[in-house]
Chains A and B, each alone.
Chain A
Amino acid sequence: MLTVLLVLLLAVPVTGAVLSGVLRPGATRAVAVATALITALLASWGVLAVYPQAYQAALGSLPWLPGGSGDGVFGFLLDPLASVLLLVVTLIGFLTILFSTSYLTEKNRDHAVGPQDQGRYYFWLLAFLASMVGVATAPNFLQLFVFWELTTVCSWALISFYRSEESLKAGFKAILMTHAGGVFFLLALLVLFAFTGSFGFDALGRLDPGVRGWVFFFLMVAAWAKAAQVPFHTWLPDAMAAPTPVSAYLHAASMVKAGVFLMARTVSSGWDVPAPWGLVLGAMALVTMLVALSFYFVQDDLKRLLAYSTIAHLGYVLLGVALGAMGSVVGFRGGVLHILCHGFGKATLFLAVGAVAYVTGTRSISALGGVARSMPLTATAYFVGLLAVTGIPPFACFWSKFMILAGALEIPAPLGPAILILILGESLVAFGWMFFVGQKVFLGLRTPAAQVNSDPPLAMSAALVLLMLGCLLAPLAGIPLVRLLGG
């Protein structure tokens, strides 16, 4: 029964993608929204049905892969960790597609999109949704890798969606850099298989500590590239050439989360990552947070600012995971919870910015001002998203950040307190700057660019309202799930 459900979770969006590609433009949107909604409902049902256990199913193996782990090469795994990512991917995916139905039209003042391009858009978006479901429910590293590379391809197509010079370049850059990381993933797979004859997550524990460290390192490089961590952080801001819903979904909520999800999987597979490598992961996460922060102050494009904020927050997740590798389960839980909380918060922010661009035709911080007077709902969404992302209670990221902070203090001095101070410092500065920008754009004097009539159309407004609710309620779903991690 659950296996059927999980197969459907993959099959429904794939069917939707194919239908979107072949149907006439008018029907595409309805099909896309319907399939995304069905996927989201199925996923929620599956998560509820499995909770609080883990469900594993083997579907088959490849005859030419000798050895194997005995469970087969293909199958599904739905445990609390997978549930967290699955919820992010399907729920935010649905809301993004709902938003897109109004956003990608000829009325968009930022970037009008004609009916002829609709099919292409929803095809890639739904294909991406299916691949992310695959990443979330993968039972071993091999299947994870396959879907991982599929998401990279979808990301490339969606970044280059407008087919302008800039977006083509950005898409090419993104696929080059993330795929370079993917090569390291492949390397890790080969080493793992060569030594253990298995791709299973638990196979990592059967390696010698030395080899295990190197495999972990290769996976870490792959995760860094995927999650745009230093030194691979340069593709994500350029990827903002994509349509805003794509940025919200792929480059804030889900695809980049695949990278941190891989790390969470790896660390939680046996809780035996060699300590120095855990330290490297944590240190790079902190470096990333601070490097990303340093880029905040020179951005004029709202989306690029949000992109750097995303980089920093992926650093938070990795920091939490690294704390888990260093022995703090609370920190690990916080990191995983941050995947969910940040997903909702940042998607809200991006879509609010998208709504502003849709109505005003610009995303420039210096050109905008006093938008709240004409777009109160969008302004509310921006501030809710902002509060959620910067971690002001009772909004989402407060809970996850707090758990990461608590985890940091479980690490012995001087390391733990140093991490704590760095996180708090980053939090305060980031909060101050994002708020400053929010005030400038939404409050304050109305600039000529902001002389517009009203909030965006119904579908976009509805998506914003639902996301705002998510910013408030995400921890309610997330905390019971992450509590099960690490025993």
Chain B
Amino acid sequence: MSTVALLLASASILLLGALLVLAGSGQRRRAGWMSVTFMGGVAILLWIVAVRTFRGGPDPEVTLLWVPGLQAGLTVAVDELSALFLAIAATIGFVTTLFAVEYLDRYPRDTVAKYYPVLLVLFLGIVGVVSVADFFFFLVFWEIMTLTSYFLVVFEGENQESQKAGLKYFVMNQGATLGMLAAALVLWREGGSFHFDDMRMAFQTLLGREPALAHLTLLLFFLGFATKAGILPMGSWLPDAYPAAPTSATAAFAGAMSKLGIYGLVRVFLTLLPLSGSMVAWGWIIAVAGTVSLFVGTLTALKQDDAKRLMAFHVVGQVGYMFLGVGVGLVLLPRNPLLGSLAVTAGLFHLLNNALYKTSLFLGAGAVHLRTGTRSLNGLGGLGRAMPWTAGAALASSLAIAGVPPLNGFASKRLLYGTGILGGEGAPFLVVLILVAMFISLVTLASFLKYYGSAYLGPPRELGAEVKEACFAMLFPQWILVGGCVLFGLFPWIPLSAIQSGVAEVLAPGSGQPFGGVLATDLGLHPTVGLTLGGAGLALWAPLPITLTFLALTGAVYLGLQRAGGAKTREVPIWVCGEQEAPEALRYFAGSFYLPFKHAFQGLYPSFRVHPVPFPAVLRRALNPDGWLYLPLARWMERVSRTVARSHVGVPQVYLLWIVLGAVGVVAVILLALG
């Protein structure tokens, strides 16, 4: 089957599935399993598309639908970059749906008819966005995505907070989309079509003739994608909306939907911009925006005590790394195409990794929320005993997001830092940005130590009923993702070669173009990953041998120490200064972590309220002509008619008088006219 056929099949399954689930939503569990089945089928199809594309290159594009008069067509074109996102969407879609089956029991008052059908259509939007080569339909799918995700954010009925967050989300994203629409229209006027290729030509003509307008269109695209991805300050909807949605949906947003902001950024900026000074300038803007976002987002995350809000701020922070990668890539591409495309690859690799561990983290927090009924880290503790499997997944994902080797977060951050620092030779400021990113890596670690420590470690809290371990359908998704984290950490060249071919395809479509071949051979993608520039190997990293050695060494030291000490493992009550205290008195609350940091970065995260502008009363009156024009006019007419009516008195003599007067008048006029 061709790519188009597979995608059409997926789309039909998603749409029909949505209708079927809607019809069968009376039984919650049945609707859930139906959705899992549909999503699983779609995931398989999308994976086939992805693997086919990575193996055999992109299928020729096919136009399915043509909008007459607008020169817009539903053109399906899946290249390696699209295939990467299809694979991510397939995986995340399946695992988050599986998770939702039991998780949605948290909301007994809300029907699942508001969840599964909407979720299926959301993934239709996601698949559509990455599969089209026409900006008109890109926007159509983009809006379907925004629309459906809004309804997932406000899923919990009668929750005013989620309504507020949902409205903020929708309005901000709608504004951003309208901006992109305007930008697309400008290029459409120039090139006469919405196809990416035509828009590229149109943009380059425009850049030569009216550079200001060309850069304005890019700015609108940048704002649009940054808003969706959650880059601050445009992404300030994110920390409100993510916690408001059911966690299974939040995980899908974090894993798949917000990633499309990066997809759009890479697709548009790499397609439109020629290798020139403009590209460098935009690279700096994107890199700095990313750095600001990762700095502010992660430091604000450090202050959060609500598990989901903490993670939502980390989404803002993490997306900063991806922007940084893309930005560094754009800065370096004109000067050093190899290094530049590697930086973009690093950004996208980080995106892939982030999809894995961030989704897993959200799902873990959701499992804890379902079992304990709280998201507040101050109210949690010691869950490691009751929920060991959830705790294990949370630990692995926390370490991955913090960039601890040998997990995948380290692999992508390392590549990003490596390219940035190597590129810093000609652009020293890049090194500053990279240093900030490195520092923030530590902050991430600190933040997740707090999360893990206060939720899973320590003495258990009194949480009412006995807390049970999450069920298999909730654990399996987390562990699948953790498996991916480990796999990509130990064997980074598997995803890297795929991503790299995607970047090469966008930069130079078709084979035999400038970078395609060069990248694949020079990178030396073999057990050691590294850059070989000019014959010298740089930034080498061989995950598997190093990890195995490290494990063997620590194991040996641990065993050796235990044997030498001859100590037995025993459990004792906690005591302080020789006194035994109640566990509550000794607890180190989540809110007490990192107080100096909290004080130092007090007003870091901007918060502002929109106040309604009073509408001037004078203008209000002026805009309503009833008051000053029509009603006075009508009253005046009424008065005139009353005055005239006074002549009708009902006395025959008076009427006769009128007749005589009238006759005299007529005669007078005739005489005057004659005379």
Between-chain CB contacts (< 8 Å), 22 pairs: A173-B630, A176-B634, A177-B630, A231-B625, A234-B625, A297-B612, A373-B157, A376-B111, A392-B174, A402-B136, A403-B69, A405-B185, A409-B185, A410-B189, A420-B182, A428-B174, A432-B167, A435-B170, A445-B158, A445-B160, A479-B67, A480-B68
B188 located at the interface, meaning its Cβ lies under 8 Å from any Cβ of chain A in the complex: yes
A406 and B70 contact, CB distance less than 8 A:
yes
User: How many whole Å from A335's CB to the nearest CB in chain B?
Assistant: 13
The residue that A439 contacts in the complex, of B136, B166, B181, B630, with Cβ under 8 A, is B166
A394 located at the interface, meaning its Cβ lies under 8 Å from any Cβ of chain B in the complex: yes
B647 located at the interface, meaning its Cβ lies under 8 Å from any Cβ of chain A in the complex: no
A291 and B623 contact, CB distance less than 8 A:
yes
Contacts known (A373-B157, A483-B69); A444 close to B171, Cβ less than 8 A? no
Q: Residues of A contacting B69 with CB < 8 Å?
A: 330, 333, 403, 479, 482-483
Query: How many Å lie between the Cα of A436 and that of B170 in the bound state?
Result: 10
Q: Residues of B contacting A410 with CB < 8 Å?
A: 189
User: How many whole Å from A180's CB to the nearest CB in chain B?
Assistant: 10
Among the 9-residue stretches B137-145, B309-317, B405-413, B464-472, the one with 4 or more Cβ atoms under 8 Å from chain A is B137-145
A427 located at the interface, meaning its Cβ lies under 8 Å from any Cβ of chain B in the complex: yes
B143 and A392 contact, CB distance less than 8 A:
yes
Q: Residues of B contacting A228 with CB < 8 Å?
A: none
Query: How many Å lie between the Cα of A222 and that of B182 in the bound state?
Result: 33
Q: Residues of A contacting B144 with CB < 8 Å?
A: 393-394
Q: Residues of B contacting A398 with CB < 8 Å?
A: 140, 143
Q: Residues of B contacting A446 with CB < 8 Å?
A: 158
A431 located at the interface, meaning its Cβ lies under 8 Å from any Cβ of chain B in the complex: yes
Closest to B164 in A: A439
Of residues 130 to 173 in B, which have CB atoms within 8 Å of A's CB atoms?
136, 139-140, 143-144, 147, 154, 157-158, 160, 163, 166-167, 170-171
B391 located at the interface, meaning its Cβ lies under 8 Å from any Cβ of chain A in the complex: no
User: How many whole Å from A121's CB to the nearest CB in chain B?
Assistant: 28
B626 located at the interface, meaning its Cβ lies under 8 Å from any Cβ of chain A in the complex: yes
A432 and B623 contact, CB distance less than 8 A:
no
B608 located at the interface, meaning its Cβ lies under 8 Å from any Cβ of chain A in the complex: no
The residue that B68 contacts in the complex, of A173, A393, A479, with Cβ under 8 A, is A479
User: How many whole Å from A323's CB to the nearest CB in chain B?
Assistant: 13
Q: Residues of A contacting B620 with CB < 8 Å?
A: 294, 298
A279 located at the interface, meaning its Cβ lies under 8 Å from any Cβ of chain B in the complex: no
B626 and A234 contact, CB distance less than 8 A:
yes
Count residues on chain B whose CB falls below 8 Å from chain A CBs: 42
User: How many whole Å from B43's CB to the nearest CB in chain A?
Assistant: 24
The residue that B178 contacts in the complex, of A231, A294, A394, A428, with Cβ under 8 A, is A428
A372 located at the interface, meaning its Cβ lies under 8 Å from any Cβ of chain B in the complex: yes
B626 and A436 contact, CB distance less than 8 A:
no
Query: How many Å lie between the Cα of A428 and that of B178 in the bound state?
Result: 8
A294 and B623 contact, CB distance less than 8 A:
yes
Count residues on chain A whose CB falls below 8 Å from chain B CBs: 46
Query: How many Å lie between the Cα of A95 and that of B140 in the bound state?
Result: 28
The residue that B140 contacts in the complex, of A373, A394, A439, with Cβ under 8 A, is A394
Given contacts A424-B181, A483-B69, 19 further A-B contacts (CB under 8 A): A234-B624, A234-B630, A297-B615, A330-B70, A370-B157, A370-B158, A376-B111, A398-B140, A402-B70, A403-B70, A405-B181, A406-B188, A409-B186, A420-B182, A428-B174, A428-B178, A432-B171, A444-B158, A479-B69
User: How many whole Å from B416's CB to the nearest CB in chain A?
Assistant: 35
Closest to A238 in B: B626
Query: How many Å lie between the Cα of A373 and that of B109 in the bound state?
Result: 9
Q: Residues of A contacting B166 with CB < 8 Å?
A: 439
B175 located at the interface, meaning its Cβ lies under 8 Å from any Cβ of chain A in the complex: yes
Q: Residues of B contacting A294 with CB < 8 Å?
A: 615, 619-620, 623
Closest to B147 in A: A392
A465 located at the interface, meaning its Cβ lies under 8 Å from any Cβ of chain B in the complex: no
Q: Residues of B contacting A214 with CB < 8 Å?
A: none
Query: How many Å lie between the Cα of A376 and that of B114 in the bound state?
Result: 10
Query: How many Å lie between the Cα of A382 and that of B623 in the bound state?
Result: 29
A443 located at the interface, meaning its Cβ lies under 8 Å from any Cβ of chain B in the complex: yes
One digit per residue, 1 when the CB lies within 8 angstroms of any chain A CB and 0 when it does not, for chain B 179-213 equals 10110011011000000000000000000000000
Contacts known (A403-B69, A428-B178); A435 close to B624, Cβ less than 8 A? no
Contacts known (A394-B140, A428-B178); A444 close to B185, Cβ less than 8 A? no
A295 located at the interface, meaning its Cβ lies under 8 Å from any Cβ of chain B in the complex: yes
The 4 closest A-B pairs by CB, nearest first: A393-B140, A432-B171, A234-B626, A393-B143
Q: Residues of B contacting A173 with CB < 8 Å?
A: 630
Q: Residues of B contacting A314 with CB < 8 Å?
A: none
Closest to B170 in A: A435
A387 located at the interface, meaning its Cβ lies under 8 Å from any Cβ of chain B in the complex: yes
User: How many whole Å from A383's CB to the nearest CB in chain B?
Assistant: 8
Q: Residues of B contacting A406 with CB < 8 Å?
A: 70, 185, 188-189
User: How many whole Å from B224's CB to the nearest CB in chain A?
Assistant: 13
Of residues 625 to 643 in B, which have CB atoms within 8 Å of A's CB atoms?
625-626, 629-630, 634
Query: How many Å lie between the Cα of A323 and that of B623 in the bound state?
Result: 25
Query: How many Å lie between the Cα of A102 and that of B538 in the bound state?
Result: 78
Q: Residues of B contacting A435 with CB < 8 Å?
A: 167, 170-171
Closest to A445 in B: B158
Query: How many Å lie between the Cα of A445 and that of B163 in the bound state?
Result: 10
User: How many whole Å from A240's CB to the nearest CB in chain B?
Assistant: 15
User: How many whole Å from A334's CB to the nearest CB in chain B?
Assistant: 9
Q: Residues of A contacting B634 with CB < 8 Å?
A: 176
Query: How many Å lie between the Cα of A60 and that of B48 in the bound state?
Result: 68
Query: How many Å lie between the Cα of A393 and that of B74 in the bound state?
Result: 14
User: How many whole Å from A95's CB to the nearest CB in chain B?
Assistant: 22
